[in-house]
Amino acid sequence: MRSDQQLETLLAELRPSVLGALVRRHGQFDGCEDAAQEALVAAATQWPVEGIPENARGWLLTVAGRRLTDYWRSDAARRAREATVASMALPEASLAPAPDDEDVVSADDDTLILLFMCCHPVLTQSSQVALTLRAVGGLTTEEIARAFMVPQASMSRRISRAKQQIKNDGMDFRMPPEAERPGRTRAVLRVLYLIFNEGYTATVGPDLLRPDLTAEAIRLTRQAHRVLPDDAEVTGLLALMLLTEARRPARTLADGDLVPMAEQDRSRWNGALAEEGLALVVEALSRPGAGFYRLQAAIAAVHVETPEGGETDWPQILALYDLLEQIAPGAAVRLNRAVAMAMVKGPREGLRLLEPLERDRWMAGSHRLSAVRAHLLEMAGDTDGAREAYRAAARQAGTGPEQRFLSERAERVGAAGTEKAGGGRGGTESGGRELAADERESRTEQHERAAGEGESAREEPLRHDRPHGPGDRAKRLRARR
């Protein structure tokens, strides 16, 4: 007999393929979602007593199908169905149950098609996120609203509008045409990336972390990786999430306050997640080209592989950012590249790269830009400038832990005077942090404008060609162009 946690995990994994199969057969998103949920509740009640059936998914589909039959037979449902049929035409493929199609459509296909539907380009990005968490993740509307700190009624309306949009557009529940799949896959990855980022560094609120969202994003990305095992960008995104999540236990103190990367107790990092993430980086980078998520995962791997007390390989990180800027020349990428440049060539070079970002409408006023500027000014010995920039960053930050951390940095700089910063694993978690600014890139249209996201990079000679040993991923990428 499985434990309660194992049963919960199994049901969560089966949910999207069951809902997908129901929508494919019957075409009614709302009704199918309700039927799938009732079947899952029945399984959670019966399976611990009776045991898990050999064909668990088939059991859920049978029970959900019976619930739908009951719905269609009721008088109220009949009237609702007649009104629906009178006002819209469902796709022919959705109306036909076609029992034989189980031979050609797998559970993994149904999961993937459901992801594609929830991330359809006709939906707004916020609707894509909400619908994915609701339909694929199985979170309640209340849970989603709480995670994104919006009223439950507002989130309910957002999800309802997304479902209505799917109805109005008459979307076929089928795999997108081959030519559309790369773009549709990138849309799915962007949504999963957004969910993870909001959990790893919240936009606003009293807490920095929302572990429930990061866990859900990782679970959904694992499912995407299972159904798209040969997609290097899916592998790269999963690797990025795991390597980032591995550091979470050490990112905050017991009271929730932020701990800079250089001060984190690495013994608290999750070694199993780090090891899995590193293996996935090797797998992702073995494929031709250099994609948006693969490169970010490679950068995260360099940090994770830095030994305790060792020197971070900043030249390799800078080389990776050079590649990343070629395929995704967004403001957040440039911000992080400025940090890497400062670590390699000195703070003045990094500050020079920040100047154009002051005029970027997505970055101007960002606490991350102010925090990086403060960190680089501190490195350069400009105590007064650093203090004012830290104060500005604290005013701009959206979460309590970041505000307190940046305010404390401002006070420390003011009290201690000039301190030499940089070197070692260097950087601050809210200032010169190497990954988090990239995480926030997906919150803005800047990410939407990133040319060639997920496509192969046009790799040019790197500035830093000194050998870094077997871990030099930038050189290996360059060699495979």
Intervals of the chain under pLDDT 50:
1, 86, 88-104, 418-470
DSSP H or E run through 198: helix 181-200
The pLDDT, as a whole number, for residue 197 is 87
The pLDDT, as a whole number, for residue 111 is 83
Q: Within 13 Å of residue 203, how many CA atoms lie on the same side as its CB?
A: 13
The pLDDT, as a whole number, for residue 102 is 47
The pLDDT, as a whole number, for residue 81 is 52
Residues 150 and 156: beta-carbon distance below 8 Å: no
Closest CA to 216 of 413, 15, 474, 24: 15
Q: List CB contacts of 464: < 8 A, sequence separation 6 or more.
A: 315, 316, 318, 319, 344, 474
The separation between the first and the last C-alpha atoms of the chain, rounded to the nearest angstrom, is 51
Q: Within 13 Å of residue 436, how many CA atoms lie on the same side as its CB?
A: 27
Domains and CATH numbers, the chain: 1-84 (1.10.1740), 107-168+177-213 (no CATH), 241-479 (1.25.40.10)
The pLDDT, as a whole number, for residue 422 is 45
CA distances from 446 to 179, 329, 380, 431 (A): 25, 9, 29, 20
The pLDDT, as a whole number, for residue 478 is 53
Helices (H), 271-363: 271-285, 292-305, 314-327, 331-345, 347-354
Q: List CB contacts of 205: < 8 A, sequence separation 6 or more.
A: 149, 398, 399, 400
The tokens for 125 are 């990005």
Is the pTM above the cut of 0.75?
Answer: no
The pLDDT, as a whole number, for residue 94 is 38
Closest CA to 22 of 56, 75, 54, 60: 60
